[in-house]
Structure 1
């Protein structure tokens, strides 16, 4: 029995970062507000599909938000290395909040204008880019270096819980209350994250301060380009998201395969519950994996591990395209979500422990651009592929391409393949 208890303890989620009050407030505030954020993300996709009847238009949401993410993610990361990070987090959060109210106004007005939705999403991306880059740079300032991986796991677990509850809540809200109700709930929940940011201590920059601007951004990009381990952590994630992320196809899948089932009436509105489950499936897997993630922080060969779990992600996503049962599709996507959690923790930890504090904002800006931008490229890829080749080929083909490409790329770069987190962790706080 002692051996079993010891084994379970090693697998159990590491909660020691929660002993730090500022981190605990930030985590809980982020978790509550992220439920609303995911609720809005599902509502926006559903509303766009209802207005246009096209997966391609749903896919356009990705690139429209990508440009602000790239520009303001990199710029926000550079600013985070030069100013009080608490203040910058408040600024980014406020911009995102304004975009939510714009979507609420649009839904209440009944305009039904796809271009207005795209504009609001672009503004929301600006706020999201600034606040996400800043929040990632804050975490290593709040917890000891040896707890960074555990803190990242908690972060991704809480985000995954929000990504489960938000879409499931969306399925109910969209079926019963409509889009305006969804955006109103998001606006209310957002207050929790804003309060957590207000309660943070002052976080002035450490080390050498670079004036934010193009030069500062290029310094960060040059650092990434000259560090193969850091560069590859970005490359494998872009492969995973750009080729295998199927979320732009969820509305069409919900209508074509699951409308008229025992769960839904005809049409998109009747398929809202199935749409909610599809949107929640990947985060469900991340939540389950997070609860048994004690082993993640002890993995040393993180480059090899990243390559393998991303290949597994691609295979499970591809298999889900052929599932005739909603529950089987949810299970397969959840398996991919479990792999995605481990991947996200390792990639984030590499950046936060490999780079010095004076570069962490810029590293987190680049990380956020890739993490948020990759799925948006995937949205465009999926939507365009579905329009050209059909729903199933677009979904399954992307997953298979992801698996093959990441295996070839990940094992081809020697430094990444041999990376050992315990010997190459570079930088103290």
Structure 2
């Protein structure tokens, strides 16, 4: 039974342990804002299309600064860059708090501040991921990624549930303020890390960074395994991530209040509940050699779960209470499958790329992992306005299953990928 539970060996390394422990606090705070932004947008507009528009405002900085941030992570001390991004995330959360506390009630102010926050996140995420292989041995990467994704998803459970309960006694601005306070933790942890200087010196932060981005794309174009790890995730997220539908479905399908409340919180947390369960029982991850095949299977399960979620929402009008819990179960299954896919895709990238390329490739990874759902927000918001939430969610899940099977058949080298031998 012990082999079924998560491998905690990477936590014996002090720097990794500090990052991991700090993540427990910071992801909870971040998820308060992730909960608050769509709730505020829907309360101001009562339109899923505006909630979906937040995907566009987040996507542009994610793409630009995710790619540049990855290049900067290869060009300068990653510890210093983590300190800068932690401060930037804190300031953007303070500004979100101010607009809500002052009662500006302006959709465009919220969207622009979201863009600023996502720009700093886009730099922080690849830098943090690229630093991990410098902290621990290669044979611990799968376990380390599992631990990280488990913490990330744990915050995505606690954050929305806390928000749903807290909104009974406090206003929305308090959620932003708590997020700002939690940003102090990664600032302190980054300061305590050992220096992580670049492996190859001489790269600049200006035009050299742009040129470095293209070097990363050249590597991707010649490595079908890494490229396909991005492609299949884009298929899964763009077609299958229904989170932009949660506010409308929570209110109209499952009978929750328009301001969010516990119904919205359950939907927002359900995927992460499944992901945490999957992470707790991830002891089998290091024993999987066919990691590409594992990713494909996990994404097929994800798509099937989203079909089930959409159907449950369509049947909820006659028995909202029962169908809400069925919808939550399907979302949890999808979350567990997504956690498996994410952990193996990240491990594949860290195993294949050399350290002087990891920042740039992790930047692309960040663009895909965070940008895909943002595109999904826009696509699902528009689809819901045209055909309704049921067809938007279930139809998206069906497209995921079809798309990933076609992609796997077209590029079989990804399905055949095996873990390379560990270098001494």
| Superposition TM-score, scaled by structure 2 size | 0.95
Counting only pairs closer than 5 Å after superposition, residues 9-408 of structure 1 correspond to structure 2 as: 9-207=2-200, 210-211=203-204, 212-259=208-255, 264=256, 267-269=257-259, 271-323=260-312, 324=316, 325-408=323-406
Determine the C-alpha separation between the residues in 1 that align with 2:258 and 2:163: 13
Q: How big is the shift at 1:10?
A: 1.7
1:277 CA drift (Å) = 0.6
The Cα shift of 1:21 comes to 1.0
SS in 1 for 2:289: coil
Equivalent residue for 2:418, pick from 391, 414, 420: 420
CA contact (8 A) 2:241 2:373 kept: yes
Any idea what the Cα deviations from partners look like across 1:287-322, whole Å, max 9, x if unmatched?
Answer: 001010011221111111111110110110111112
Runs of at least 5 residues in structure 2 that lack an aligned partner in the other structure: 317-322
Distance 1:167 1:235 in 2: 29
SS of the residue corresponding to residue 203 of structure 1 reads coil
Q: Distance in 2 between matches of 1:288 and 1:209?
A: 44
Give 1:176 deviation, angstroms: 2.5
Please identify, of 332-341 and 302-311, the stretch whose mean Cα deviation from structure 2 is larger.
302-311
Please give the alpha-carbon distance, in whole angstroms, between the structure 2 residues aligned to 1:170 and 1:158: 18
Q: Residues 94-127 of structure 1, C-alpha deviation per residue, up to 9 Å, x if partnerless?
A: 1111111111000111110000000000000111
Residues 366-400 of structure 1 deviation map (CA, whole Å, 9 limit, x = unaligned): 10110000000110110010011111111110011
Paired residues of 1:303 and 1:410 also in contact (CA < 8 A)? no
Name the CA distance, whole Å, in 2 between partners of 1:220 and 1:247.
31
Shift in Å at residue 401 of structure 1? 0.4
Q: Contact (CA 8 Å) 1:316, 1:333: kept in 2 or not?
A: yes
CA RMSD of aligned residues (A): 1.3
Q: In the aligned structure 1, how far is the partner of 2:202 from the partner of 2:152?
A: 31
- 1:300 and 1:20, CA in 2 relative to 1: closer, same or farther beyond 3 A? same
- Listed one character per residue, the Cα deviations across residues 133-156 of structure 1 (whole Å, up to 9, x for unaligned) are 100000001111111111111000
What's the CA shift for 1:418? 1.2
Q: Which 4+ residue blocks in structure 1 deviate beyond 3 angstroms? A: 207-212
1:173 Cα deviation from its structure 2 partner: 2.0
* Separation of aligned partners in 2, 1:304 and 1:139: 25
Question: Would the aligned equivalents of 1:307 and 1:411 in 2 still touch at CA under 8 Å?
Answer: no
Whole-Å separation in 2 of the counterparts to 1:16 and 1:386: 45
Give me the TM-score of the superposition, normalised by structure 1: 0.94
How far the C-alpha of 1:210 sits from its partner, in A, is 3.7
Instruction: Tell me, in whole angstroms, the C-alpha distance in 2 between the residues paired with 1:189 and 1:84.
Output: 24
C-alpha distance in 2 between matches for 1:407 and 1:174: 42
Structure 1 regions of 5+ residues with no counterpart? 1-7
Partner of 1:3: none
- 8 Å Cα contact 2:90/2:181 also seen in 1: no
Contact 1:64 1:121 survives alignment (8 Å): yes
Q: Quote the Cα distance in structure 2 between the aligned partners of 1:80 and 1:422.
A: 25
In 2: Cα distance, 1:179 partner to 1:225 partner: 45
Separation (CA, whole Å) in 2 of partners of 1:208 and 1:415 = 34
TM-superposed deviation, 1:414: 2.2
